[in-house]
Amino acid sequence: MTHSTPTLFPATFLWGGATAANQIEGAYNQGGKGLSVQDVMPRGIVGPRTDGPTPDNLKHEAIDFYHRYAEDIALFAEMGFGVYRFSIAWSRIFPRGDEAEPNEEGLAFYDRVLDELEKHGIEPLVTISHYETPLHLAETYDGWVSRDLIGFYERYASVLFARYGARVKYWLTFNEINSLLHAPFMSGGINTPKDQLAEKDLYQAMHHELVASASATRIARELAPSAQIGCMVLSMPIYPLTPSPEDAVAVMEADHANLVYGDVHTRGEYPGYFLRALREKSINLDITDEDRATLTNTVDFVSFSYYMSIAETSSTDRGTGEGNIMGGVPNPTLPASEWGWQIDPIGLRIVLNQFWDRWQKPLFIVENGLGARDELVEIDGVKTVVDDYRIAYLNDHLVQVGEALEDGVQILGYTSWGCIDIVSASTAQLSKRYGFIYVDRNDDGTGSLARYPKKSFHWYTEVIRTNGASLSR
């Protein structure tokens, strides 16, 4: 059933956009910043990692937000953003990750970003760790496989809460924490190649991240009492390929593998289905009593990315599905983007309901959007992009957000992904664009870095101005 009259988004609904430090900032070796795992991933997760920084890594300069943040935030303000989600580069604050003292120059940069946001009345939403673990922690400790990372992360989070806690209300502990098993180097700084990694080590790394996340929540309660702490998961509704009970069970089990992260963050303990899975794999995790106590520090809200849905089957004949880090079985009923991500606006309503029913925590949609190639054209002397395809994608997804609001789901806000063109995470391309603002930079690194509002810029401005009433149903 679809609601026919325009939904009233709550007056407090936060509209905005989202980015991540490694994909937007550039200045990879300036301001005392150390290297992160991203500095040796010039091809994203689809290519091999390199021994050190290489000239073909677009993230090294990205779109130079490090120097142009004031201009970019002014453009966000022009669209009427009420919130901007960005991440803090861990290696700007702790260049190697295991130092005792933070890098003041790195901290001062984010002070300046926050000043600019405050000037425009934009609420910051800060991701503490977004796929940018300091490289030293990967190479010396094997990333999150090591329990030592919990302490380093606690120190890092404490510094952030102490410094920015009075200015930042909304915090996310780990970007897409459930991607760890799929992309161990990017997501968990795990240096051991995936094919040589013992499954037990991967699950141990997952446990360490979950403990660190809960510990950050505990620390925030002391250092930043007005902060709201959220977890962040990659959401992907999974449909049975056929109505057979076996396919329904395949969906349930695939769902469990994703939902366990939100379950732990909201309930404070591991669910039985997960313990069963470990038992059946004969994996005995090192979980201390102190870990168990830490996990009881549950989050205030749940945030998630949503790009696509997928299907599942019990059959061994699965076909191959491309997707946002986690693959699955292609759904024959859905179209796909140029990068093979299947487009499914209704899936967003389903996921919102599923998460709300399951966790009863306010939800924040912190990533959603269409990666597409854009063509810069000149209309009446003004350079722009006529991105009707992006407008259609966002419109249809936001209509489903309205449906979920009608369903009674509590939603804090919506930040579309890559609100200005940035380097893609999976393929490290600039040509996979999500933004309302076109950035003149190409995959070969050429371009002036000039910014041009696209047609969607004006469309989104109107959506925000009318608080969703201008959406077409």
With a CB cutoff of 8 Å and minimum separation 6, the contacts of 255 are: 238
CA distances from 470 to 1, 49, 80, 105, 343 (A): 21, 45, 14, 43, 22
CA distances from 80 to 71, 230, 318, 376, 391 (A): 15, 24, 45, 24, 17
Minimum CB–partner distance for residue 290 and ligand BGP (Å): 30
Using rule CB under 6 A, residue 176 touches ligand BGP: yes
Window contacting ligand BGP (CB under 6 A); options: 136-144, 154-162, 223-231, 417-425: 417-425
Using rule CB under 6 A, residue 164 touches ligand BGP: no
Minimum CB–partner distance for residue 369 and ligand BGP (Å): 7
Interface with ligand BGP (CB under 6 A), residue from 371, 402, 453, 468:
371
Minimum CB–partner distance for residue 301 and ligand BGP (Å): 17
Minimum CB–partner distance for residue 38 and ligand BGP (Å): 10
Burial, 399: exposed, middle or buried (Cβ in 10 Å; 0-12, 13-18, 19+)?
buried
Using rule CB under 6 A, residue 355 touches ligand BGP: no
Using rule CB under 6 A, residue 432 touches ligand BGP: yes
Interface with ligand BGP (CB under 6 A), residue from 7, 9, 13, 20:
20
Question: Site size for ligand BGP, by CB under 6 A?
Answer: 15
Interface with ligand BGP (CB under 6 A), residue from 204, 305, 309, 368:
305
3-state secondary structure the chain: CCCCCCCCCCCCCEEEEECCHHHHCCCCCCCCCCCEHHHHCCCCCCCCCCCCCCCCCHHHCCCCHHHHHHHHHHHHHHHCCCEEEEECCHHHHCCCCCCCCCCHHHHHHHHHHHHHHHHCCCEEEEEEECCCCEHHHHHHHCHHHCCHHHHHHHHHHHHHHHHHCCCCCEEEEECCHHHCCCCHHHHHCCCCCHHHCCHHHHHHHHHHHHHHHHHHHHHHHHHCCCCEEEEEEEECCEEECCCCHHHHHHHHHHHHHHHHHHHHHHHCCCCHHHHHHHHHCCCCCCCCHHHHHHHCCCCCEEEEEECCCEEECCCCCCCCCCCCCCCCECCCCCCECCCCCECCHHHHHHHHHHHHHHHCCCEEEEECCCCECCCCEEECCEEECCCHHHHHHHHHHHHHHHHHHHCCCCEEEEEEECCECCCCCCCCCCCCECCCEEECCCCCCCCCCCEEECHHHHHHHHHHHCCCCCCCC
CA–CA dist 420, 426 (Å, integer): 17
Nearer to ligand BGP, 146 or 324 (CB): 324
Interface with ligand BGP (CB under 6 A), residue from 191, 213, 266, 426:
426
Interface with ligand BGP (CB under 6 A), residue from 425, 430, 437, 464:
425
Window contacting ligand BGP (CB under 6 A); options: 58-66, 144-152, 384-392, 426-434: 426-434
Minimum CB–partner distance for residue 42 and ligand BGP (Å): 14
Using rule CB under 6 A, residue 415 touches ligand BGP: no
Interface with ligand BGP (CB under 6 A), residue from 81, 239, 261, 417:
417
For residues 311 to 330, the per-residue mask of contacts with ligand BGP, x marking binding by CB under 6 A and - elsewhere, is -------------xx-----
Minimum CB–partner distance for residue 337 and ligand BGP (Å): 9
Window contacting ligand BGP (CB under 6 A); options: 54-62, 350-358, 425-433, 437-445: 425-433
For residues 91 to 110, the per-residue mask of contacts with ligand BGP, x marking binding by CB under 6 A and - elsewhere, is --------------------
Window contacting ligand BGP (CB under 6 A); options: 88-96, 400-408, 418-426, 443-451: 418-426
Nearer to ligand BGP, 179 or 266 (CB): 179
Nearer to ligand BGP, 224 or 326 (CB): 326
Minimum CB–partner distance for residue 204 and ligand BGP (Å): 23
For residues 199 to 238, the per-residue mask of contacts with ligand BGP, x marking binding by CB under 6 A and - elsewhere, is -----------------------------------x----
Minimum CB–partner distance for residue 324 and ligand BGP (Å): 5
Any idea which residues carry the catalytic annotation? 176, 367
Using rule CB under 6 A, residue 175 touches ligand BGP: yes
Binding site for ligand BGP (CB under 6 A): 20, 175-176, 234, 305, 324-325, 367, 371, 417, 424-427, 432
